[in-house]
Amino acid sequence: MTLDTVKHAGETPDTEQPWSELGLKQDEYARIREILGRRPTGAELAMYSVMWSEHCSYKSSKVHLKQFGEKVPANDAMLVGIGENAGVVDVGQGYAVTFKVESHNHPSYIEPYQGAATGVGGIVRDILAMGARPVAVVDPLRFGAADHPDTKRVLPGVVAGIGGYGNCLGLPNIGGEVVFDSCYQGNPLVNAGCIGVMKHEDIHLAKASGPGNKVILYGARTGGDGIGGVSVLASETFDDTKPTKRPAVQVGDPFQEKLLIECTLEIFAEKLVAGIQDLGGAGLSCATSELASAGTGGMRVELDTVPLRDATLSPEEILMSESQERMCAIVEPQHVERFMAICEKWDVIATVIGEVTDGERLEIFWHGEQIVDVPPGTVAHEGPTYHRPYARPSWQDALQADDAGALPRPADGAELKDQVLRLVSSPNQASKAWITDQYDRFVQGNTVLAQPEDSGMIRIDEETNLGVAIATDGNGRYAKLDPYTGAQLALAEAYRNVAASGAKPLAISDCLNFGSPEDPAVMWQFAEATRGLADGCLALGTPVTGGNVSLYNQTGDTAIHPTPVVAVLGVIDDVNRRTPIAFAQEGQLLYLLGDTREEFGGSAWSEVIHGHLGGLPPTVDLDREKLLGEILISASRDGMIDAAHDLSDGGLIQAITESCLRGGKGARLIVPDGLDAFTFLFSESAGRAVVSIPRSEELRFTDMCGARGLPATRIGVVDGQELDVQGQFAVTLTELRTAHEGTIAGLLA
Amino acid sequence: MTSRIGVVTFPGTLDDRDALRAARLAGAEPVPLWHRDKDLHQVDAVVLAGGFSYGDYLRAGAISRFSPVMETVIEQAKAGLPVLGICNGFQILTEAHLLPGAMLQNDHLHFVCREQRLRVENAATAWTADFAQGQEISIPLKNMDGRYVADERTLDELEAEGRVAFRYLDGNPNGSLRDIAGITNAAGNVVGLMPHPEHAVEPLIGTGGTDGLGFFTSILKKLVSA
Q: Mean pLDDT score of chain A, rounded to an integer?
A: 93
Asked whether the beta carbons of residue A443 and residue B111 sit closer than 8 angstroms, the reply is no
Distances in Å between the Cα of A726 and the Cα atoms of A179, A669, A730 are 32, 6, 8
Instruction: Kindly report, residue by residue over A138-159, the tens digit of the pLDDT.
Output: 999 999 999 999 999 999 999 9
Instruction: Kindly report, residue by residue over A300-344, the tens digit of the pLDDT.
Output: 999 999 999 988 888 988 998 889 999 999 999 999 999 999 999
Mean pLDDT across A676-687? 98
**A725: β partners:** A669, A729
Task: Point out the residue among B15, B55, B113 whose CB comes nearest to the CB of A441.
Answer: B113
- CB proximity A170 to B under 8 Å: yes
Mean pLDDT across A200-205? 83
Rounded Cα–Cα distance for residues A688 and A423 (Å)? 19
Model confidence at B1: pLDDT above 70? no
Q: How far apart are the first and last CA of chain A?
A: 52
Which of A158-167, A201-210, A517-526, B50-59 comes out lowest in average pLDDT? A201-210
Looking at chain A, which residue has its C-alpha nearest residue B202? A445
To the query of whether residue B196 is one of the catalytic residues in this protein, the response is yes
A748 Cα to chain B: minimum distance (Å): 12
pTM reported for the whole predicted model: 0.95
Per CB-CB distance under 8 Å, the chain A contacts of B19 are none
Predicted confidence band of residue A202 (pLDDT cuts 50, 70, 90): confident
Per CB-CB distance under 8 Å, the chain A contacts of B202 are 445
Model confidence at A233: pLDDT above 60? no
Rounded Cα–Cα distance for residues B185 and A690 (Å)? 52
Rounded Cα–Cα distance for residues A638 and A629 (Å)? 14
Q: Give the dihedral sign, CA A418/A421/A422/A423.
A: positive
Mean pLDDT across A342-355? 97
A167 Cα to chain B: minimum distance (Å): 8
Distances in Å between the Cα of B168 and the Cα atoms of A478, A643, B165 are 45, 31, 10
Task: Cite the DSSP H helix spans in A190-272.
Answer: 254-269
pLDDT score of A229: 46
Instruction: Kindly report, residue by residue over A155-171, the tens digit of the pLDDT.
Output: 999 999 999 999 999 99
Residue B154 three-state SS: helix
| Residue, of A293 and A503, whose pLDDT is higher | A503
Rounded percentage of chain A residues whose pLDDT exceeds 90: 84
pLDDT score of B69: 97
H/E element, B29: strand B29-34
Mean pLDDT across B162-174? 97
Query: B196 with B166: CB under 8 angstroms?
Result: no
Instruction: Kindly report, residue by residue over A37-65, the tens digit of the pLDDT.
Output: 999 999 999 899 989 988 888 999 999 99
Task: Point out the residue among B12, B15, B21 whose CB comes nearest to the CB of A255.
Answer: B12
CA dihedral A517, A518, A520, A521 (to 10 degrees): -60
pLDDT score of A280: 82
Q: How far apart are the first and last CA of chain B?
A: 13
Write the burial class of residue A386 (CB in 10 Å: 0-12 exposed, 13-18 middle, 19+ buried).
middle
Looking at chain A, which residue has its C-alpha nearest residue B52? A168
Radius of gyration over alpha carbons of chain A, in Å?
A: 26
Question: Which residues, in sequence order, are CB contacts of B38 under 8 Å at separation 6+?
Answer: B68, B69, B71, B72
Predicted confidence band of residue A246 (pLDDT cuts 50, 70, 90): very low
Predicted confidence band of residue B207 (pLDDT cuts 50, 70, 90): confident
pLDDT score of A234: 39
Task: Point out the residue among B11, B56, B142 whose CB comes nearest to the CB of A347.
Answer: B11
Write the burial class of residue B181 (CB in 10 Å: 0-12 exposed, 13-18 middle, 19+ buried).
buried
B179 Cα to chain A: minimum distance (Å): 20
10 Å Cβ neighbour count for A92? 14
Write the burial class of residue A730 (CB in 10 Å: 0-12 exposed, 13-18 middle, 19+ buried).
middle
pLDDT score of A83: 67
pLDDT score of A235: 42
pLDDT score of A663: 97
Predicted confidence band of residue A578 (pLDDT cuts 50, 70, 90): very high
Looking at chain A, which residue has its C-alpha nearest residue B13? A170
Look at chain B and count its residues.
Answer: 226
To the query of whether residue B113 is one of the catalytic residues in this protein, the response is no
- CB proximity B195 to A under 8 Å: no
Question: Which residues, in sequence order, are CB contacts of A77 under 8 Å at separation 6+?
Answer: A89, A90, A91, A506, A507, A543
Model confidence at A207: pLDDT above 80? no
Interface with B, mutate which of A133, A432, A443 (most B CBs under 10 A): A443
Per CB-CB distance under 8 Å, the chain B contacts of A163 are 110-111
- CB proximity B51 to A under 8 Å: yes
Residue A617 three-state SS: coil
Which of A50-54, A351-355, B211-215 comes out lowest in average pLDDT? A50-54
pLDDT score of A370: 97
Instruction: Kindly report, residue by residue over A409-432, the tens digit of the pLDDT.
Output: 999 999 999 999 999 999 999 999
Mean pLDDT across A356-381? 94
Catalytic residue among B35, B87, B95, B121: B87
Predicted confidence band of residue A198 (pLDDT cuts 50, 70, 90): very high
DSSP annotation of A84:
B
pLDDT score of B208: 86
- CB proximity B24 to A under 8 Å: no
Mean pLDDT across B36-58? 94
Which of A79-93, A425-439, A578-592 comes out lowest in average pLDDT? A79-93
Task: Point out the residue among A258, A442, A444 whose CB comes nearest to the CB of B113.
Answer: A442
Per CB-CB distance under 8 Å, the chain A contacts of B208 are none
A604 Cα to chain B: minimum distance (Å): 29
A102 annotated to a ligand binding site: yes
Instruction: Kindly report, residue by residue over A688-703, the tens digit of the pLDDT.
Output: 999 999 999 999 999 9
Distances in Å between the Cα of B82 and the Cα atoms of B48, B50, B68, B125, B128 are 11, 17, 18, 9, 12
Task: Point out the residue among B17, B112, B142 whose CB comes nearest to the CB of A442.
Answer: B142
Catalytic residue among A55, A64, A204, A645: A55
Question: Cα A298 to the chain's mean position, in Å?
Answer: 33
Model confidence at A9: pLDDT above 80? yes
pLDDT score of A236: 45
Residue A376 three-state SS: helix
**B137: β partners:** B118
> What's the angle, vertex CA A403, arms to CA A400 and CA A405, rounded to 5?
150
Q: Give backbone dihedrals phi and psi of A572, rounded to 5 degrees, phi first.
A: -130, 130
Question: Which residues, in sequence order, are CB contacts of A363 under 8 Å at separation 6+?
Answer: A298, A299, A300, A301, A357, A370, A372, A373
pLDDT score of A371: 96
- CB proximity A617 to B under 8 Å: no
Predicted confidence band of residue B86 (pLDDT cuts 50, 70, 90): very high
Interface with A, mutate which of B53, B110, B210 (most A CBs under 10 A): B110
Predicted confidence band of residue A228 (pLDDT cuts 50, 70, 90): low
Model confidence at A500: pLDDT above 90? yes
Angle between helices A336-345 and A254-269 (to 10 degrees): 140
Query: A576 with A443: CB under 8 angstroms?
Result: no
pLDDT score of A250: 77
Name all domains of chain B by residue range, CATH numbers in brackets: 4-225 (3.40.50.880)
To the query of whether residue A381 is one of the catalytic residues in this protein, the response is no
Predicted confidence band of residue A622 (pLDDT cuts 50, 70, 90): very high
Query: B199 with A442: CB under 8 angstroms?
Result: yes
Three-class secondary structure assignment of A182-197: HHHCCCCEEEEEEEEE
> What's the angle, vertex CA A57, arms to CA A54 and CA A62, rounded to 5?
95
E-assigned strands of A608-747?
A: 643-646, 667-669, 689-693, 712-718, 722-725, 729-732
Write the burial class of residue A226 (CB in 10 Å: 0-12 exposed, 13-18 middle, 19+ buried).
buried
Mean pLDDT across A501-528? 97
Query: A739 with A425: CB under 8 angstroms?
Result: yes
Rounded Cα–Cα distance for residues A416 and A572 (Å)? 39
Question: Cα A211 to the chain's mean position, in Å?
Answer: 37
Write the burial class of residue A709 (CB in 10 Å: 0-12 exposed, 13-18 middle, 19+ buried).
exposed
Rounded Cα–Cα distance for residues A578 and A569 (Å)? 15
H/E element, A633: helix A622-637
Catalytic residue among B35, B95, B121, B196: B196
Q: Mean pLDDT score of chain B, rounded to an integer?
A: 96
Model confidence at A68: pLDDT above 50? yes
